[in-house]
Amino acid sequence: MKTHHALCALILTLPLLALTGCDAGSATAGQNDRLQDGSLQTTINDAIQRDAAFEHSDINVLVSNQGQVTLSGTVASVQDKKRASEIVKQVAGIKIVNNELEVATSGSAN
């Protein structure tokens, strides 16, 4: 009889353990996505800063949804705007680039 109760308790507990395990996995996956996005953001910022064309530019980088990049801020020319997108596209793991950079009017760039 004791074996029967223990077996019933085990059978009732297994589905709960499985559900708890799924929740923990989802949290870990979300954390990994944020870490990956943060790593991509650092890589992109470093690549842009290494390019002399952007020495006086104000470029903000936002990475979300595992590789979707949005660039915002101000650059000196249309060519710099295009160059910023090219730099981002060269980074491994980038899926989409939304280039919202604005070209500074004469005299407004630092």
In sequence order, the 6+-apart residues with CB closer than 8 A to the CB of 95 are 66, 67, 68
Average pLDDT over residues 12-27: 52
Q: What HEC string does 24-38 produce?
A: HHHHHHHHHHHHHHH
Q: Which two tokens stand for residue 100?
A: 């919202």
pLDDT band at 62 (very low <50, low <70, confident <90, very high): very high
Average pLDDT over residues 83-99: 95
What residue has token string 């708890």? 20
Q: What is the pLDDT of residue 57?
A: 87
Q: What is the pLDDT of residue 18?
A: 53
In terms of Cβ atoms closer than 10 Å to its own Cβ (0-12, 13-18, 19+), residue 13 is exposed
101 close to 83: Cβ distance less than 8 angstroms: no
pLDDT band at 65 (very low <50, low <70, confident <90, very high): confident
Average pLDDT over residues 43-61: 92
Rounded to the nearest integer, the mean pLDDT of the chain is 79
Q: What is the pLDDT of residue 32?
A: 64
Sorted by where each starts, the structural domains of the chain and their CATH numbers stand as: 33-103 (3.30.1340.30)
